[in-house]
Structure 1
Amino acid sequence: MGEIHQTAIDDETLRSYLAETLPGEDMARVEKSLRDSAELRARLEDVRQNRGDTGLHTLGAIWRRGRLTCPNRQQLGSYLLDALDPDFASYLTFHLDVVACPFCQANLADLKAKAAQPSGASKSRHHRILRSSQHLLGDEGRS
């Protein structure tokens, strides 16, 4: 008899798989098992059909969907400038580094990229906008 290296995949694991709440290693294990087993794919479809909206309106699901623990871009910008209350800055560090929120990490990376743009680029953009609207300023803009 061959050794069994994988634990059985139960319906609760399949529900967690569908809700994308399994750790990455477990997600990969379930996906591989789904590729290899028509029976498991049929069970997955049964779980999908019979799960209803369970989990859709739980406090955790609403919390994640609404990103209630995520800071806004202004707060992330203040974080970059080290201009936050130390307790809130500590929370943001935890949120970014430990929770590793992909939404906030992407926002922070975008803000860092914008901050790293050479100042000449923004001056050039400002000058182009001013020139394009100079006719609207009348005599005031021609000094």
Structure 2
Amino acid sequence: MSTISDEDLLAYADELLNLVTASTVEAELRKDSSLRERLQILLEGRDSGSISLGEVWRHGRITCPSRSEMGLYLMNALEAERLDYVTFHLETIGCAYCQATLAELKTAAESLELDAQDSQRRERLFASSAGFLQNRDSNS
């Protein structure tokens, strides 16, 4: 008998598990046909409308921080209590959805930083070129 819970099976199907747990569930599913059947029954039950309150919370991501709150987390601008919750949600719960959102926000922030650096470089280059061209024109 498998030790994998129904909640973990459904979370696996929705790709909401952290990498380690998802790998464990997948390995068990590959080995155990009765576990695959159990997952199929759970999915059919969910599709027929027979779902638990916990499933509604997970599927609706009710406990997930908002995207703007994740941005504040990234900037280290959250109040201490909320910072503790978001850290718990990301690291202890291991919400794959929020981890992906955070990774996307980090990439966007890095891109903006690079754009700002490029813009500053262009301005310095233009300023130095303008001075060079101005001196050249006055010598003519």
**Shorter chain as normaliser: what TM range?**
0.5 to 0.7
* Amino-acid identity (%): 34
Q: In the alignment, residue 73 of structure 2 is paired with which amino acid?
A: Y
- CA offsets 1:27-73 (integer angstroms, 9 cap, x no match): 42242132xxxxx59x928x739x64488421100000000110111
Q: In the alignment, residue 84 of structure 1 is paired with which amino acid?
A: L
Distance in 2 between residues matched to 1:103 and 1:70, nearest whole Å: 8
Give the match for residue 19 of structure 1.
10
Q: CA RMSD of the aligned region, Å? A: 3.6
Residues 1:83 and 1:69: Cα distance change in structure 2 (over 3 Å): same
SS in 1 for 2:93: coil
Conserved 8 A contact 1:56-1:62: no
Distance in 2 between residues matched to 1:91 and 1:17, nearest whole Å: 22
Q: In the alignment, residue 33 of structure 1 is paired with which amino acid?
A: D
- CA offsets 1:48-101 (integer angstroms, 9 cap, x no match): 39x644884211000000001101111011111111110000100111111111
- 1:106 Cα offset (Å): 0.6
Give the match for residue 29 of structure 1.
28
1:44 aligns with 2:43: no
Q: Compare the two structures and name the one with the higher helix fraction.
A: 2
Give the match for residue 103 of structure 1.
97
Structure 2 unpaired stretches of 5+: 120-140
Give the match for residue 108 of structure 2.
114
Residues 1:28 and 1:16: Cα distance change in structure 2 (over 3 Å): farther
Residues 1:99 and 1:113: Cα distance change in structure 2 (over 3 Å): same
Conserved 8 A contact 2:9-2:25: no
Q: Normalising by structure 2, report the TM-score.
A: 0.57
Number of aligned residue pairs: give it: 106
Q: Normalising by structure 1, report the TM-score.
A: 0.56
